[in-house]
Amino acid sequence: MARTTVLHQWHGSAGARMTGFAGWDMPVSYGRGAIEEHRLVRRSAGLFDTSHMAQYTVSGDRALEYLERLVTARLAGLAEWSSTYALLCRDDGGVLDDLFLYRLPDSWLVVANAANRERDASWFREHLPSSGVEFADVSDETSMFAFQGPKTLSVMDRLTDAAASRIGRFAAAELPLAGASVLVGRTGYTGEDGVELFLPNETALAVWELLLAEAERAGVEAGPIGLAARDSLRFEPGFPLYGHELSTEISPVEARLTWACDLEKEFIGRDALARQRERGVERRLATVRMKERSVPREGFAVQSDGKPVGHVASGMYCPTVDASCANVFVPAALAKVGTDVDIEIRGRPRAAVVVKRPLYTPAYRR
């Protein structure tokens, strides 16, 4: 039996097409279709139910040193009410998950992928010191939304006495919404400005409806967004998706995520990553653009001069780029911009070229 979020019934009444995802029954798209949803987020505002994602809280006197040893990003300099992206690595540098960590005054909120919820929780528990750290999986009682797009902050401001836009990029604040206190992070995974909201299940539906209603009152075009557009929206700005660009068999060096790893600090997997970085890796992530519209999909073979050289990690039609593109793992020598490769689609090699990453510059870098 698939798990459902608090909004399951709402999605159904809104005409969502549902799909199984990491054991959850989630909306893949609504009536307007995935491509139009993608465009809506790029030009205005879209609301995502991301309540399937896992949330843990970590607290106690030794929480900082405990987390510092487990994740790849440096946490020590992180101010309260701010956040960072980080990876959770094994000793060999293989990636168990990618995470967002929010530093709150008395605790840390760790956001993880739904598919990895149990494995991450076990890993965190196994590494707990005998005292000084409390770890809790709060996923069941927590709902999570992303409200993304260039016009979302103006809607949030109307509801929060302009407090929302005072939250800096990657910062967070506790704000009252629909009578509840909601943790609002100026974060997201679409390449647009926007917020992510963490709230108790009991208030989730009221806040969801409030956001859409307030957008309408403000004359801001907005709507719900499903998983299909979530995927293309994260793909264009070059954000990895666990199970595709990241896995226990892929290292952050191969996936070009060393920027998320502070090799100057001690953490599990650090030595393996430092060695890889020093010696170089055989294969690397590259983004290719198809010369025709045929869609390269996960698992398809990459060829060079007729020989297999790699595989597609993620591939799709990218609405903003208006081309079919793919992330591929290929030998480092072929990962250079301008290199011609072929993707085998239905038995035939189709021309593609390695292009500059990212395909779309995320708002925080503009």
Interface residues with another protein (CB under 8 A) are 17, 28-29, 33-36, 228, 232, 292-295, 297, 316-317, 324, 346
Q: Report, in Å, the least distance between residue 210 CB and another protein.
A: 29
162 contact partners, CB below 8 Å, separation of at least 6:
none
Q: Which is nearer to another protein, 37 or 97 (CB)?
A: 37
**Tokens, residue 335:** 């990962």
Distance CA 121, CA 126 (A): 9
CB of 220 or CB of 290, closer to another protein: 290
- The answer to whether residues 149 and 362 touch, using CB atoms and an 8 Å cutoff, is no
Least Cβ distance, residue 250 to another protein (angstroms):
25
CA angle 133/63/165 to nearest 5° reads 130
Least Å from the CB of residue 301 to another protein? 15
Q: Which is nearer to another protein, 11 or 256 (CB)?
A: 11
Nearer to another protein, 265 or 291 (CB): 291
CB half-sphere exposure, 5, CA atoms < 13 A: 32
Contacts of 261 (CB under 8 A, 6+ apart): 72, 73, 87, 252, 267, 270, 273
* DSSP code of residue 103: E
Given a contact cutoff of 8 angstroms between Cβ atoms, the answer to whether 257 and 240 are in contact is yes
CB of 338 to another protein, least distance (A): 24
Q: Find the shortest distance in angstroms from Cβ 22 to another protein.
A: 17
Nearer to another protein, 185 or 296 (CB): 296
* Nearer to another protein (CB atom), residue 199 or residue 229: 229
Rounded to a whole number of angstroms, the minimum distance from the CB of residue 316 to another protein is 7
Give residues with Cβ within 8 angstroms of 355, minimum separation 6: 287, 288, 289, 325, 337
